[in-house]
Structure 1
Amino acid sequence: MKPNRALIVAITLSITIFAVISAGCSATGEQSPESPLPTAVAAPAAECPALVFTDREFAFELQRTLGASYSGEADVGECLATASRIKEGDFESWYCEWNRTADNFRAVGDESLAAGHRITAMEAYYRAATYYRTAEFFLHGNATDPRIVETWGKSRESFRDALALDVVPYEIVAVPYGNTTLPGYFYAVDDSGKPRPLLIVQTGFDGCQEELHPYAMEGIKRGYNVLTFEGPGQGEVIRVRHIPFRHDWENVIGPVVDYAVSRPDVDEDRIALWGISLGGYLAPRGAAYEPRITALIADGGTYDVGLNLLANLEAGGVANLTEIELQEWLQTDPVEFNDAIRGAMAHDTGTRWLNENGMFVFNAGSPARFWAKWMDFSLVGVAEEIRCPTLVCAGAVDHFDPDGAQATALYDHLTCERELMVFSDDYGAGSHCQLRAFAQSFGAKFDWLDDKMGMTDFRPGEE
């Protein structure tokens, strides 16, 4: 089927609307009565509150970086001072100012270490790692920009220099994967080598595993050994090895679990998997085919990318196109579609970032090819295969999942023991993955996990 011009315009507008929604907060309606809300949801705000920036994408990423303050891997004053120097909506200005801040605290760490102040150096290195990672975030419009690998490399180097000064036992690991390996970190409760329950934590569409360090430290406090990793499309794997995302994530989780059970310090009967952001699709996809996963957190839950597109098409009055037909058309790389999307990207920061990062992590040469590949990310007919207890998380004002539609759809298709946890925005926890409310996030999610994994009696320092 070849859409006529009117249909092309409608499809493009619908997908652009979806991109804009995915880049800024929107109002959230009532949840399906089939999906109980264990957390009370107050009347949500219509959009993210402005913080330094009126540009919603910049405001959200600033809040994401500020969230690292909870674990001491950013500081509020440093973040706000940096943001105040950034030109609104300007990707180059974003890079320059965050990189400048990162360089400053990298130097603070070096000077402190040289003077014998190891704790100050460690803390400065952790913050520098966060700021380098933030600086690199909007660079993906040119996949050959040397600053991508350079700045990412500085972030990882600073993070590892901090780890080397920290007291938590850890290993930099390589997980066998096909004819290569996946990079990972293994964090241990102690150096006893005793088998312990394992928590595997993974990121999503735009994250690096160093950003998962706060999750790992919370797991350590609760008695879990923790494994983080990066798969295709993520972190080092896309930036250095140029291996793009794949939708069949079971082919990633299987090797990760194989590696985990090969370790003598892992209790192979208690392995939990926590997927964050797009990991809320990736982790459930892997768990559906991996019986060794004993508990799963989809944070936030994602069911089917294509359903969002169809919903926007129908809202725009286009009802005669199926998901398959839309994907097949996008696979032809239509010039009209690409031109329209690029036009929208020129006028909206969120649309620009979503498509630039999508083309980067999927190794797609055009917006249409990115969207065609992304539409493969579906749990239709797969979610029902998940057998372990599953927690599906959502935020009352999650800008990536308006109305909680994706999380609710995943929850409703699960046949295993399940719970839907929707975070109110009363105290700022209603945003995407609760990235600006880690105290509430960790408390609720780890309590659920501890109950399922038999960890409620763990006391730090006690066996």
Structure 2
Amino acid sequence: MTRLLLDDELLDAQLIRAIGATSHQGADIGEVVQAMRGLDEKSLDSWYEAWNTLGERVFAFAEDQERAGHRISARKAFLRACTYLRTGGSMLYSTPVDPRMAESNTRQTAAFRRAAALLDTPVEVVQIPFEGTTLPGYFLRAADETGVRRATVLALGGYDGTAEECYFYFAAPALSRGYNVLIFDGPGQGAALLQQGLTMRPDWATVITPVVDFLLSRSDVDPARIALAGLSLGGFLAPRAAAQEHRLAALIADSGSYDMYGGALERMPKPLAHGYEEGNKLARVALAEILDGTAKKPTAGWSLRRGLVVHGVDSPLAYLDAMIDFRLDGYAQQITCPTLITHAEGDAIGASAPQTFAALTVADKELIRFTAAEGAGDHCEAGARTLFDARAFGWLDDRLHPATLA
């Protein structure tokens, strides 16, 4: 993996993730580097304070620019504030939920909506009907026009991502190429999790199907040209959904894991993993003690604490139990639409992406590899999204032809 500025591997990866948004005006390198100076890498409070202070300062600057009538400057600053405020809160996963994390989600949403109101193309705040409630999202149109149906990208993020962050990863590059875009928070993500209490689930066809229904109800969406794109955990959820939702015209899985449960077991000592799989009580007790101890560590335990919140469980062992259904075996083989799998060389989280590709039986499939030598070897090509955009959207353009209007 790329090492940029910080000694802590996780914090440095999150820093690269934030800086990666510069490709679509979601960060400024100088602001970010300065904010990280003097950071106490052993304190997640220090991380939150640094990013939150930066985010609120840039938010205030955006408001000043807006009041002065400087629309473009205000828009860019609100977009940067969105990234900074999200990044600060993203490390505060805990049970019960840290109120600062919920507030950071509210503030990053406010920043994005202020920016969205200043974009050159229309943005609608939408509520998508879902199981007696709604899922929050945004429908972004490529142009201010009526009576025209366009190819549309339906995009989702990962474990700790938000619909607003998806703007930088998928929406901005798609809009510039002539696609409409729908970005949203599903169960376990962003506002759906932190504001509504909807937790993660593996059966994402039950999530994507009503979202596709929502798109098909619109007069500006070409029903024959809807693509589903998923990032990080979304790179698993999107194929899982596409296995059963066959109204999709194309699928992009960015670093899509094939077997998240199996991947977790592979990181354990083999005797302990074997005993756990067999349901051995002693193995479960031993594993629970190890996981509980790890979860207390500031950064080493972050993913476990995140899992508790996202899945709505009360212990790290219960989180591992919940992962048993997060597999693509038997699902990847059911995907019928053209599919692109991406795989970054140094991405341990998405290491099984080639396995996902191999399991596909659809004739039109492609695996694109990104290398460290290109600066694109990190998880979801975080530091080289411009390169990702060129390759992934080049593939999609050849299939959905966004310049063609229906």
Q: Does the TM-score normalized on the shorter chain lie above 0.5?
A: yes
User: 1:264 Cα shift?
Assistant: 0.6
Q: Is the 8 A contact 1:52 1:84 kept in 2?
A: no
Q: 2:212 matched to 1:262?
A: no
Deviations 1:400-446 (A, max 9, x none): 13xx3x11111111100211111011121111111110111000000
Q: 1:182-193 maps to which residues of 2 (within 5 A)?
A: 182-193=135-146
User: 1:338 Cα shift?
Assistant: 2.9
Q: From 100, 108, 117, give the equivalent of 1:164.
A: 117
Distance 1:235 1:320, change over 3 A: closer
Which residue number corresponds to residue 339 of structure 1?
289
Q: Is the 8 A contact 2:208 2:241 kept in 1?
A: yes
Distance 2:16 2:395 in 1: 26
Distance 2:250 2:92 in 1: 36
Q: Is the 8 A contact 2:44 2:298 kept in 1?
A: no
Deviations 1:381-406 (A, max 9, x none): 111100011111110111313xx3x1
Q: Normalising by the residue count of structure 2, what TM-score does the alignment of the two structures yield?
A: 0.94
Distance 2:179 2:5 in 1: 38
Where relative contact order (Cα < 8 A, 6+ residues apart) is larger, the structure is 1
Q: 2:25 matched to 1:72?
A: yes
User: 1:93 Cα shift?
Assistant: 0.3
Which residue number corresponds to residue 339 of structure 2?
390
User: 1:114 Cα shift?
Assistant: 2.0
Deviations 1:173-231 (A, max 9, x none): 11110100111111111121311111101111110010111221211121211111111
SS in 2 for 1:375: helix
User: 1:141 Cα shift?
Assistant: 1.8
User: 1:336 Cα shift?
Assistant: 3.9
Q: Is the 8 A contact 1:201 1:212 kept in 2?
A: yes
Q: 2:314 matched to 1:365?
A: yes
Question: What letter is aligned with 1:381?
Answer: G
SS in 1 for 2:314: coil
SS in 2 for 1:82: helix
Distance 2:365 2:119 in 1: 37
| Greater C-alpha Rg | 1
SS in 2 for 1:165: coil
Q: From 222, 227, 230, give the equivalent of 2:182.
A: 227
Q: 2:156 matched to 1:202?
A: yes
User: 1:375 Cα shift?
Assistant: 2.3
Q: Is the 8 A contact 2:372 2:378 kept in 1?
A: yes
Which residue number corresponds to residue 304 of structure 2?
355
Which residue number corresponds to residue 35 of structure 2?
82
Q: Is the 8 A contact 1:48 1:56 kept in 2?
A: no
Which residue number corresponds to residue 58 of structure 2?
105
Question: What letter is aligned with 2:201?
Answer: R
Question: What letter is aligned with 1:253?
Answer: I
Q: From 421, 437, 444, give the equivalent of 2:368.
A: 421
Which residue number corresponds to residue 37 of structure 1?
none
Deviations 1:104-123 (A, max 9, x none): 11111122222222222221
State the percentage of identical aligned residues. 37
Distance 1:234 1:84 in 2: 30
Distance 1:60 1:376 in 2: 27
Distance 1:110 1:329 in 2: 59
Distance 1:321 1:293 in 2: 41
Distance 2:160 2:333 in 1: 27
Distance 2:283 2:73 in 1: 52
Q: Is the 8 A contact 2:43 2:298 kept in 1?
A: no
Which residue number corresponds to residue 173 of structure 1?
126
SS in 1 for 2:85: helix
Q: Is the 8 A contact 1:333 1:369 kept in 2?
A: no
Which residue number corresponds to residue 323 of structure 2?
374
User: 1:318 Cα shift?
Assistant: 5.7
Question: What letter is aligned with 1:121?
Answer: A
Q: For structure 1, which segment, 139-148 or 233-242, has the greater mean C-alpha deviation from structure 2 after superposition?
A: 139-148
Distance 1:293 1:329, change over 3 A: farther
| Structure 1, unpaired ranges of 5+ | 1-46
Q: Is the 8 A contact 2:272 2:283 kept in 1?
A: no
User: 1:340 Cα shift?
Assistant: 1.6
Deviations 1:256-299 (A, max 9, x none): 10101110101001110001001111000111101101100111
SS in 1 for 2:373: coil
Q: 2:354 matched to 1:408?
A: yes
Deviations 1:17-71 (A, max 9, x none): xxxxxxxxxxxxxxxxxxxxxxxxxxxxxx432x221110011000101111111
Q: Is the 8 A contact 1:423 1:429 kept in 2?
A: yes
Question: What letter is aligned with 1:412?
Answer: A
Q: Is the 8 A contact 2:272 2:287 kept in 1?
A: no
Distance 1:261 1:133, change over 3 A: same
Question: Once superposed, which parts of structure 1, at least 4 consecutive aligned residues long, lie more than 6 Å away?
Answer: none
Deviations 1:114-173 (A, max 9, x none): 222222222111111111001101111243322122121111101101111221111111
| Structure 2, unpaired ranges of 5+ | none
Q: 2:81 matched to 1:128?
A: yes
Q: Is the 8 A contact 1:70 1:438 kept in 2?
A: yes
Distance 1:187 1:441, change over 3 A: same
Distance 1:113 1:48 in 2: 37
Q: Is the 8 A contact 1:85 1:97 kept in 2?
A: no
User: 1:347 Cα shift?
Assistant: 4.6
Question: What letter is aligned with 1:358?
Answer: G
Distance 1:154 1:291 in 2: 36
RMSD: 2.1
